[in-house]
Amino acid sequence: MTDFSAPKAAVQFRTAAFLQSASAVENAPSDQGWEVAFAGRSNSGKSSAINTLTSQGKLARTSRTPGRTQLINFFALSDSQRLVDLPGYGFAKVPLAVKKKWNQQLERYLQRRESLRGLVMLMDIRHPLTDADKQMLGWAISASMPVHILLTKADKLKRGPAQSTLLSVREALAEHAELVSVQLFSSLKRKGVEELGTKINLWLTDDSVIDDLPEINADD
């Protein structure tokens, strides 16, 4: 995508490459640059969404078995931009002690990770805003972390019901509209990919980056 009329450090999603896995937040790559994390319940479609966004079918591992992604997986978009696939929460078969530990880590990651610019939260459109989702949202909001919600697997509902779920989730979160946005998404149908890409672009590029760019279009 070359757009010389509007010089921006547009994110190159297709060039995403696996960077590293971490078993705990402490083992994450150094906290520099910018990153966007994907969070959601097990099986909500996080890994699939990352693959769809990057047009790389096998970048993040997907599975029919919930709880598949146990590690935090970091993908590099550039030297200073990353996507993060977080382990799913709310998986019934995980022991309580493990769940508690992971919840603590998620909360800490949201509060302390300097490079984290925004959180993409995924919810299966057929059961959005579960208790676990609300808890996660609460942490993000109290950390003033921008959140973009994907109502995933939108292909599972007809257009009317999908649209009304979108409106009702927006309405439920209306008081946080400055921090929280919501859209429909389907990896299967590649629906909502552009909207998601635009949001992430906004988070992963900022004025200082744009100012640092060489003036490739100084004439106009």
Ligand X SMILES: Nc1nc2c(ncn2[C@@H]2O[C@H](COP(=O)(O)OP(=O)(O)OP(=O)(O)O)[C@@H](O)[C@H]2O)c(=O)[nH]1
The contact set with Mg ion (CB under 5 A) reads 46-47, 69
| Residue number with CB closer to ligand X (54 or 186) | 186
Shorter beta-carbon distance to ligand X: residue 45 or 118: 45
Min separation Cβ 63 and ligand X, Å:
5
DSSP the chain: ---TTS------GGG-EEEEEESSGGGSSPS-SEEEEEEEBTTSSHHHHHHHHHT-TTSS---SSTT---SEEEEEEETTEEEEEPPPB--TTS-HHHHHHHHHHHHHHHHH-TTEEEEEEEEETTS-S-HHHHHHHHHHHHTT--EEEEEE-GGGS-HHHHHHHHHHHHHHTGGGTTTEEEEE-BTTTTBSHHHHHHHHHHHH--HHHHHHS--TTTT-
Least distance in Å: CB of 70 to Mg ion? Answer: 9
Write down the least CB distance from residue 194 to ligand X, Å: 15
Asked if residue 193 binds ligand X (CB under 6 A), the reply is no
Q: Are 16 and 47 in contact (CB under 8 A)?
A: no
67 sits near ligand X (criterion: CB under 6 A): yes
Residue range at the interface with ligand X (CB under 6 A); choices 22-30, 113-121, 151-159, 176-184: 151-159
* Piece of the chain touching ligand X by CB under 6 A; list 1-9, 56-64, 105-113, 158-166: 56-64
Binding flags for ligand X, 103-142, as an x/- string (CB under 6 A): ----------------------------------------
Contacts with ligand X: how many residues (CB under 6 A)? 23
Residue 115 binds which one of Mg ion, ligand X, none, with CB within 5 to 8 A depending on kind?
none
Cβ contacts of 135 within 8 Å, gap of 6 or more: 103
Residues that bind ligand X (CB under 6 A): 40, 42-48, 62-64, 66-69, 88, 152-153, 155-156, 186-188
